């Protein structure tokens, strides 16, 4: 039987890893849908209506599945982490409640108009609905990340006794909710979502372009996929470099506010200066793969790189070692390897963006079969990188659930037994795997179906409302 603390952590990790896929898709698609809608209502080429209709389907499916899986996470605070909820409920519960009342309701209300109301709403109202849906999606991230960032860098509270139990009381809402970690987490997460969706769009489009231009297969509506590839590349050229630049600033902030986590990211066991940043690290024995100390056996790194990263330019800077902290170290191997895999993917995304941009500039974007294969192979790597980033964030602060205030083992529900925790862990694993398979099946079906035909768009748009008046829409571009 699994220990209830371990089982609860595994259950929350499992449900979070699956759930985060859907918010990434919806948050990342949101700005694209606003752009497609704007171009459509402004009388742009018919391909923008195709783009809006096609990607709205995937957005809607992601929203529905994300809502279902997200609700479970909030219930888990009561079932598996009741002691934490009691201890930090005054600070932690507020942002989650506001997220539901403000952001979720805004998104859900206008999503009905956005998905089903194109032929019933004016262009102005319909564009407003796209902006409202996008705003609701991103506002959800605001409040959830406010709650999580407070757990990383808790501020604006004091410890008090209530019913013989220690709890936190809110004393300074501005300090608590505008804590120093929030802006780093929000920018990094939202940019990662857009980057992940750009990679997904580019990979799907590259598949169709590859089959048509390289293999000579007849691909219906190839202009749609070519436009999709170009738009995805533009987004990737913006987000990929920004993610790496901001990630450097984020890592420096972690070094200043969570030195133990930073030491785990770099596997620094003893306080040292001029610490190298290992880009590639291979142990000589496979049995050492989970021991980050084995990286010293064979590694390719930048001398003083970790010190430079921590200090913002000083290769001689000192990094405090894990052995100097009073509490137990986080699971260092998980943090160390996850961080490296995530950073490696980040630089690969920049290479992909520059590669694609160069080919586009040369007029060879649709003929480079190697680029198309690379984009196809990388279509899901953005989501994987997000997962790895959250592993570094959450596993790296262990053993704390609230950094320096409450340990994870102290936050688990006191009456939870190993049998109950193990049973729910197995149950959630089965259900969430089923949801993930179902979601994948539906998205694949949507992709295989492709965008709507122009003839269907003419029929659907023959009588649309523009500024409250019925008008006829004509399409002159049949490419």
Looking at residue 410, its pLDDT comes to: 92
Query: In angstroms, rounded to a whole number, what is the distance separating the alpha carbons of residues 47 and 38?
Result: 12
pLDDT at site 412: 92
Answer for the pair 263, 318: CB distance below 8 angstroms, yes or no: no
Q: Which long-range contacts (CB under 8 A, 24 or more apart) does 33-42 make?
A: 33/59, 33/114, 33/130, 33/133, 33/134, 34/130, 34/131, 34/134, 35/231, 37/126, 37/127, 37/130, 38/127, 38/130, 41/123, 41/124, 41/126, 41/127
Q: Residue ranges per domain, the chain?
A: 4-271+320-471
Tell which residue, 228, 230, 88, 68, has the closest CA to residue 147: 88
DSSP 285: S
**Residue 227 contacts residue 381 (beta carbons within 8 Å):** no
Model pLDDT, residue 286? 65
DSSP letter string over 161-174? Answer: EETTEEEEEES-HH
- CA 196, CA 27: separation in Å to the nearest integer? 10
Query: pLDDT at position 277, please?
Result: 84
The predicted pLDDT at position 285 comes to: 66
What is the predicted pLDDT for the residue at 293? 61
The helix or strand, by DSSP H or E, that contains position 411, with its residue range, turns out to be: helix 408-411
pLDDT at 469: 45
Per-residue model confidence (pLDDT) at position 284: 63
Outline where 80-162 has alpha helix (H): 82-98, 105-116, 123-152
Q: What is the pLDDT of residue 455?
A: 56
Residues of the chain scoring pLDDT < 50: 459-460, 462-479
């Amino acid at each position: 039987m699994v220990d209830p603390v371990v089982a609860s952590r595994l259950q929350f990790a499992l449900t979070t890893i699956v759930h985060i896929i859907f918010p990434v898709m919806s948050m990342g698609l949101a700005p694209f849908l606003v752009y497609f809608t704007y171009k459509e209502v402004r009388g742009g080429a018919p391909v923008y209506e195709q783009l809006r209709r096609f990607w709205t389907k995937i957005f809607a499916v992601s929203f529905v599945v994300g809502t279902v899986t997200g609700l479970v996470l909030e219930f888990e605070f009561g079932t598996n982490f009741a002691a934490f909820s009691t201890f930090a409920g005054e600070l932690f519960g507020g942002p989650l409640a506001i997220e539901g009342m403000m952001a979720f309701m805004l998104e859900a209300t206008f999503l009905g108009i956005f998905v089903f109301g194109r032929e019933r709403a004016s262009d102005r109202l319909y564009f407003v609905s796209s902006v409202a849906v996008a705003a609701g999606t991103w506002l959800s991230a605001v409040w959830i990340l406010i709650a999580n960032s407070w757990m990383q860098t808790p501020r604006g509270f004091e410890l008090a006794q209530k019913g013989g139990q220690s709890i936190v009381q809110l004393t300074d809402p501005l300090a608590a909710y505008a804590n120093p970690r929030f802006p780093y987490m929000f920018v990094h997460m939202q940019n990662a979502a857009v980057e992940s969706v750009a990679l997904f769009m580019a990979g799907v489009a590259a598949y169709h372009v590859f089959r048509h231009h390289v293999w000579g297969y007849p691909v219906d509506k190839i202009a749609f996929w070519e436009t999709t590839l170009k738009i995805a590349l533009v987004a990737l050229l913006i987000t990929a470099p920004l993610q790496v630049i901001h990630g450097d600033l984020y890592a420096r902030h972690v070094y200043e506010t969570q030195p133990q986590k930073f030491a785990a990211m770099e596997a620094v066991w003893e306080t040292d200066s001029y610490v190298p940043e290992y880009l590639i690290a291979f142990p000589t024995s496979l049995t050492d793969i989970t021991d980050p100390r084995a990286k010293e056996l064979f590694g390719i790194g930048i001398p003083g790189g970790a010190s430079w990263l921590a200090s913002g330019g000083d290769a001689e800077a000192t990094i405090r070692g894990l052995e100097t902290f009073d509490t137990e170290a986080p699971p260092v191997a998980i943090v160390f390897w996850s961080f490296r895999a995530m950073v490696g993917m980040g630089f690969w995304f920049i290479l992909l963006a520059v590669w694609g941009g160069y080919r586009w500039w040369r007029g060879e974007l649709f003929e480079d079969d190697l680029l198309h294969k690379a984009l196809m192979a990388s279509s899901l790597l953005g989501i994987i990188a997000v997962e790895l980033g959250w592993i570094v964030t959450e596993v790296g602060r262990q053993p704390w659930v609230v950094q320096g205030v409450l340990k994870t083992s102290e936050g688990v529900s006191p009456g939870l037994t190993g049998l109950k925790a193990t049973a729910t862990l197995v149950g959630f694993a089965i259900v969430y795997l089923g949801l993930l398979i179902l979601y994948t099946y539906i998205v694949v079906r949507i992709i295989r179906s492709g965008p709507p035909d122009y003839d269907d768009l003419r029929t659907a748009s023959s009588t649309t409302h523009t500024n409250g008046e019925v008008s006829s829409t004509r399409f002159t571009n049949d490419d």
